[in-house]
Amino acid sequence: MAIKLAHAAFAAALTVLGASVAVARDQPGPDWITKDQAMQKLTAAGYTNVTGLKADDGRWEGKGVKNGKIMEFHLDPRTGAVLKEKIDD
């Protein structure tokens, strides 16, 4: 019985740890550029009408218009460089 309880406690601890790591990747880190700086980088890269800019999976991401097309993008969280962009389907 004690072993089952210990296993259950260990499993619960791993679940909580995993959840806190997931949340941490969806929050800007202390060394990230600010949201305003990210917007400036996007504007310089030719984006307009940016929406949904948020921290997700360890990067800034969102949507915006570039060259007349709605695009999804990922930005490096420290430099603001566009890492990925694709036409939004």
7 or 88, which is more confident?
A: 88
Does 20 have pLDDT greater than 90? Answer: no
SS3 state at 11 = helix
Is residue 58 helix, strand or coil? coil
Asked if 56 and 24 count as a contact pair (C-beta separation under 8 A), the reply is no
Q: What would the pLDDT profile of 40-50 be if each residue is shown by its tens digit?
A: 999 999 999 99
Q: Tell me which H or E stretch contains 63.
A: strand 59-66
Least confident of 3-7, 28-32, 77-81: 3-7
Share of the chain above pLDDT 90, in %: 70
Q: Is the pLDDT of residue 2 over 80?
A: no
Domains present along the chain, CATH in parentheses: 2-87 (3.10.450)
